């Protein structure tokens, strides 16, 4: 009796090829499309076109396909968190929460009623350690998505397959073209679906009130006005609206602090050290699979997605962790995730809660 695998279909080339590969391997494949956002009038989310592409691909492959609406769950479990974090003056990463709560949460639960396993087009891989699933990096390091899966729980990876784990993107597109899939040349989606092609500030203003305030430099001098702290992130250089300031070198300004208590944006000119830190603390910790490590151990970590792995020392607490960097890191941002790696394995991660500016020892 053949095994049935339910593939999370997004309308992109990656999930299309995931379905193709599984069918070629002899599985009974079902395509399941998630509708996660109720489009407002004038919105640019491409859900309708994506569903049409899913229908075309599944028709080409000869597999059954369905659409399921999780917009209510997305609003309650992901979008509310997104807004709450911005209200706290932080910079959230809703894609991480979407994986835990939606793709490997309600979607997984629904899909396992239709089949024996689920699969997605994520660039990552699955292994095993003492009977528990572990998360492994993809062969295509430039596309590796383990960072976005760091907060997904161990049990959520059971009965999960990642068919693209050992492929690179060029191979995926070549397979799609070879088999005549309509998505072969489709541009990769970027950003968050519920924002689409709209300007981020315009979108956010629809849900959170603007609170304009002062921009000051690190000496306390007022040099401009901001449109609302939620629109800025640490290290940001563009869009500050600051011209030349008398007595300062004509270099670009960048954000070094967001003071929520008095609604002040603090900036610095040039390439100063204000954004450097020696470590961080998280407010949560999720370890994937059994982690055979002492309380304090060495590994590598990423503090944002588009960053190379950095050598660090980690101290595990009960439900959080403290990380000390070997070399000071720039613009470590509360609300983002610190993700741990041990060679090819992603150990998990946690939400950055506190940035440690001064050097310190872990003991």
The residues assigned a catalytic role are: 98, 193
Helices (H), the chain: 13-24, 47-61, 71-74, 80-87, 94-98, 107-111, 169-178, 200-205
Region of 89 please: left (phi>0), alpha (psi -120 to 50) or beta. Answer: left
Are 323 and 279 within 8 A, CB to CB?
yes
The answer to whether residues 240 and 255 touch, using CB atoms and an 8 Å cutoff, is: yes
- SS3 for 278? strand
Q: For residues 223 and 217, is the Cβ–Cβ distance under 8 A?
A: yes
Count of C-beta atoms within a 10 Å radius of residue 44: 13
- Taking the C-alpha atoms of residue 284 and residue 297, their distance in angstroms, rounded to an integer, is 18
Largest Cα span, the chain: 78
Q: How crowded is the C-beta side of 25, counted as CA atoms within 13 Å?
A: 13
């Amino acid at each position: 009796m053949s095994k049935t695998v339910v593939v999370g279909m997004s309308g992109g080339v990656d999930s299309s090829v995931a379905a193709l590969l599984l069918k070629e391997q002899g599985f009974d494949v079902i395509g399941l499309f998630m509708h996660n956002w109720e489009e407002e009038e004038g919105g640019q989310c491409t859900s309708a076109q994506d569903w049409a592409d899913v229908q075309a691909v599944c028709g080409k492959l000869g597999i059954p396909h369905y659409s399921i609406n999780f917009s209510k769950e997305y609003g309650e479990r992901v979008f509310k968190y997104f807004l709450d974090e911005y209200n706290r003056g932080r910079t959230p990463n809703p894609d991480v929460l979407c994986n835990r709560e939606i793709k490997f949460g309600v979607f997984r639960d629904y899909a396992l009623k239709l089949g024996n396993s689920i699969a997605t087009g994520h660039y990552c891989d699955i292994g095993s350690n003492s009977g528990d699933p572990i998360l492994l990096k993809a062969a295509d390091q430039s596309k590796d998505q383990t960072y976005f899966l760091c907060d997904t729980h161990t049990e959520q990876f059971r009965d999960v397959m990642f068919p693209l784990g050992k492929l690179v993107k060029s191979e995926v597109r070549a397979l799609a073209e070879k088999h005549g899939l309509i998505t072969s040349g489709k541009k990769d989606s970027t950003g968050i679906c519920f924002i689409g092609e709209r300007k981020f500030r315009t979108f956010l203003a629809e849900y959170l009130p603007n609170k304009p305030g002062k921009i000051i430099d690190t000496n306390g001098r007022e040099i401009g006005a901001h449109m609302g702290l939620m629109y800025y992130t640490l290290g940001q250089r563009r869009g500050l609206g600051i011209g030349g300031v008398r007595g300062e070198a004509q270099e670009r300004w960048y954000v070094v602090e967001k003071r929520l208590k008095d609604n002040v944006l603090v900036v610095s000119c040039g390439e100063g050290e204000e954004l450097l830190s020696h470590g961080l603390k998280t407010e949560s910790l999720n370890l994937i699979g059994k982690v055979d490590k002492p309380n304090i151990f060495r590994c590598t970590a990423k503090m944002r997605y588009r960053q190379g792995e950095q050598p660090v020392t980690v101290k595990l607490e009960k439900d959080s962790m403290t990380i000390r960097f070997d070399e000071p890191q720039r613009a470590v941002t509360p609300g983002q995730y610190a993700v741990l790696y041990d060679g090819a394995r992603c150990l998990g991660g946690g939400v950055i809660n506190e940035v440690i500016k001064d050097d310190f020892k872990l003991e």
